Structure 1
Amino acid sequence: MTINTATEKVIQSPWFSGVPSSETQRFLALTKLVQLKKGDRFIEAGETPKIFGFVTKGLFRFLYTDQEGKEYTKVFMPEHSFVSAYSAMVLNQASYFSIEALEDSEVLTISYASWLRLKESHPCWNELLIKVLEKAFIMKEAREREFLFLDAESRYQIFLERFPNLEHRLKQHMIASYLGIAPESLSRVRKKEQS
């Protein structure tokens, strides 16, 4: 993908619909196109993030890893998503989770310092940030409710609705991790769905 194609993806994204074109151009001038191979980490747990990005191509997952190396998938982020350990960046502290490329991917990155300057220069950036944070908060609240009240089958159905056409791009153990179940349990859920 060229920088021009990546630029087009930003301009066409609903996230930037309320941003004046002159401000979008300012944003793009501050970004850098970064290519990641499948398995690369955009952010590694334990590092203090200084950048965030907008996914123009590919797929990512946010994951926690425990002391024994077991992985817990927090969320999947396909094209047109922002990827960031935002609270760690704001607090200037180490991220508790990693962000892993699940496919060869491309991200337009911007440094947090540049973002802060941009945000102070025009109210449209605070409006965009509020939209992004609201969506993240709504998703977090929904995930908590699902884990408290719903069984694995219901959570699987919600996953399919929340991430249409994503299932074929993911390994079974990653979907199971996102659902909070073992891969064998996911196989049983899928078989039950097909019968």
Structure 2
Amino acid sequence: MEFFKNFSANFHPITDDSLEEIYGLLKVKKYSKNHQIVKLDQTPKNFYILKQGVIRAYSIDEKGKEHTKTIYTPISTSGDLGALIKKAPSTLIYECLSDCEVIECSYQDFYNLSLKHHDVSIFHYKVLQHIYVREVSKILELQTLDATQRYKSLQEKHPGIDNLINQYHIASYLNITPVQLSRIRKNYIY
């Protein structure tokens, strides 16, 4: 589980004793493209750390249109945090856009471990801070940047994303139509 040790070091140091307990909670899983790791209205139990692949979180409106909320690329955390905290059904679908390898962990078991170990608690808090900042940044981009600027920001955060997932997923994430995305890409200088 060297991968998790390196991942955690980006947020907060965790002692070897705490790491050993965390390792007991972690499972490496591989999922195929189009697999839904969290289904709509499913009450999720796990969070994920994405090692390989691309995952998206999306909702479906009353007209059946998909709205991509988040695109996850390695190395990032994924899972419906709100549903995990509230122990409630997910309002989002988490779908693998490519073959993926993840580290899976029970949120409740990890939370219980964070109550037991101060270093794990601080690590948990730092990850939650990171998720909060990431989500607020996305909201501000949607409110303040035009479509071309949002596309440029996406390219900076996820280089090569155009080659990894379908264009309509990118358009949905940017809150534009595929036709608008095509026009932007035509005029965009890499």
Q: TM-score, normalised by structure 1?
A: 0.89
Instruction: Give the letter aligned to residue 139 of structure 2.
Output: E
Percentage of identical aligned residues: 28
Equivalent-residue separation in structure 1 for 2:97 and 2:169 (angstroms): 10
Structure 1 gap ranges (5+):
1-6
8 Å contact from structure 1 (residues 54, 108) kept in 2:
yes
Equivalent-residue separation in structure 2 for 1:56 and 1:8 (angstroms): 12
CA RMSD after TM alignment: 1.7
1:181 aligns to what SS in structure 2?
Answer: coil
8 Å contact from structure 1 (residues 10, 56) kept in 2:
no
Residues 1:8 and 2:18 aligned together: no
Equivalent-residue separation in structure 2 for 1:71 and 1:95 (angstroms): 15
Instruction: Give the letter aligned to residue 101 of structure 2.
Output: E
Residues 1:181 and 2:176 aligned together: yes
Report how far residue 67 of structure 1 moved.
2.3
1:22 aligns to what SS in structure 2?
Answer: helix
2:159 aligns to what SS in structure 1?
Answer: coil
8 Å contact from structure 1 (residues 61, 77) kept in 2:
yes
Report how far residue 16 of structure 1 moved.
5.9
Q: What does the per-residue CA deviation read over 1:122-176, in whole Å, with 9 as the maximum and x for residues that have no partner?
A: 1122222222222222122222222222211111111111222333111110111
Runs of 4+ off more than 3 Å: 14-17
8 Å contact from structure 2 (residues 98, 165) kept in 1:
no
Q: TM-score, normalised by structure 2?
A: 0.91
Q: What does the per-residue CA deviation read over 1:17-53, in whole Å, with 9 as the maximum and x for residues that have no partner?
A: 5112322221111122222110001111111111112
Equivalent-residue separation in structure 2 for 1:71 and 1:102 (angstroms): 14
